Structure 1
Amino acid sequence: MFTFLNHWLKHLNYTINSTLQQNPHFHVLIAVNKSYFKDTKSYISQSEWLNLWRDVTSMPEITQVFAQKVRTNNDKELYEMAKYSGKDSDYLSSQKVFDAYYRALKGKQVLVYSGLFKEARKLLKNGDLDYLKEVDPTEYIYQIFYIWAKKEYLASELYDLTEQEKREINHKMIDEIEEEQ
């Protein structure tokens, strides 16, 4: 019945407020056929997702499940998947909060791939998708070292890059999103 559930990406996201109220939740990306949204036999409504989630967790008090279609050429939803598991502004607010985050996330696999996403990850790691990456057009010709002095940074040393350093640094592909694992 749920064959499309073989192709998903799951990211554990965790929030804790200053009173140590915890909110673990998942961001899940599921690959479906284009016909999914018109197929009344396989389409799952938001209320059905909520009931399924309540059943699988045995937590009837869950009130929210948000599902939406990822739009073509809009990376906003994808960036939501790739971001942090916890905000530093949250977990660095106090030692108690940090300890709660640590206990909650220690040993957890926060990013899990399945099906097509797992295959794509292998291709990415092997460099087979490098041709899709953007090349940095910046020409680096020298290296500057700065020091902190009286409320500002001051250039302390300037070196011309060697030809070998220029070859190693210039015209490399840009890795805009580093994966969290």
Structure 2
Amino acid sequence: MRATEVTFNKVDNSYHPHIHALLCVESSYFKDTKNYITQKQWTSFWKRAMKLDYDPIVDVRSVKSKNKDKIDPKDVTPAVLETAKYPVKDSDYLTDNEEQNIQVVADLEEGLNRKRLISYGGLLKEVHKELNLDDVEDGDLIHTDDDEEKASEDAFSIVAVWNWKRKNYFIKNIG
């Protein structure tokens, strides 16, 4: 899952787009030195891909369960929420200056027009489809109250768990 977030620096009137990504990897990934990508390598790859003349900030973290035998959704939830948060939040750019607010909204509208800010791939795309979620770009943003009532009645968590025998993830419904 990839989400592009844009924040606004009110001091120097600059914009800061950045990517939040959630990657599913085999647990052996962290022990396999020939396939493991270090923080330094991620930075180098990103620098080259973006054709930058400086080292960008690349913050990569693993999401770990406190209990090695059982995955607790509470351990994974903060990472999912951080990745899936709104691409643009009004608290990131609205000020007491109405003229500046109008300019920032106009800039964001023009800059983000026809941009896919959230996308899913692999296992997370399957989970998104299995849950029959609205498309993040074209979903219904009008009837949210009805959905919230129904969601609170039918709420449950889904966790992907690595199966060593099958050498693949399987989806586990919780609650």
TM-score, normalization by structure 1 = 0.63
CA contact (8 A) 2:46 2:56 kept: no
Question: Unmatched 5+ residue regions in structure 2?
Answer: 66-71, 96-100, 134-148, 158-175
Residue 96 of structure 1, aligned match among 93, 97, 103? 103
Residue 45 of structure 1 deviates from its aligned partner by 0.3
Task: Look up the SS of the partner of 2:125 in the other structure.
Answer: helix
Residue 28 of structure 1, aligned match among 13, 21, 31? 21
Residue by residue over 1:39-59, the C-alpha shift from the partner in whole angstroms, topping out at 9 and shown as x without a partner, is: 001000001000000011111
Determine the structure 1 residue equivalent to 2:112.
105
Determine the structure 1 residue equivalent to 2:53.
60
CA contact (8 A) 1:20 1:100 kept: no
Superposition pairs for residues 41-56 of structure 1, below 5 Å?
41-56=34-49
Determine the structure 2 residue equivalent to 1:129.
none
TM-score, normalization by structure 2 = 0.65
Determine the structure 2 residue equivalent to 1:123.
130
Residue 175 of structure 1 deviates from its aligned partner by 8.0
Q: Which runs of 4+ in 1 moved over 4 A?
A: none
User: C-alpha distance in 2, partners of 1:42/1:28?
Assistant: 19
Q: Identity percentage over the alignment?
A: 33
Residue by residue over 1:50-103, the C-alpha shift from the partner in whole angstroms, topping out at 9 and shown as x without a partner, is: 000001111132430000001223221111011111121223331112122222
User: C-alpha distance in 2, partners of 1:86/1:110?
Assistant: 9
What is the number of equivalent residue pairs in this alignment? 126
| Shift in CA distance, 12/173, structure 1 to aligned 2, threshold 3 Å | same
Cα RMSD for the two superposed structures: 2.2
User: C-alpha distance in 1, partners of 2:103/2:64?
Assistant: 40
Aligned residue type for 2:114: G
CA contact (8 A) 2:3 2:20 kept: yes
Question: Unmatched 5+ residue regions in structure 1?
Answer: 1-8, 127-167, 177-181
CA contact (8 A) 2:43 2:56 kept: yes
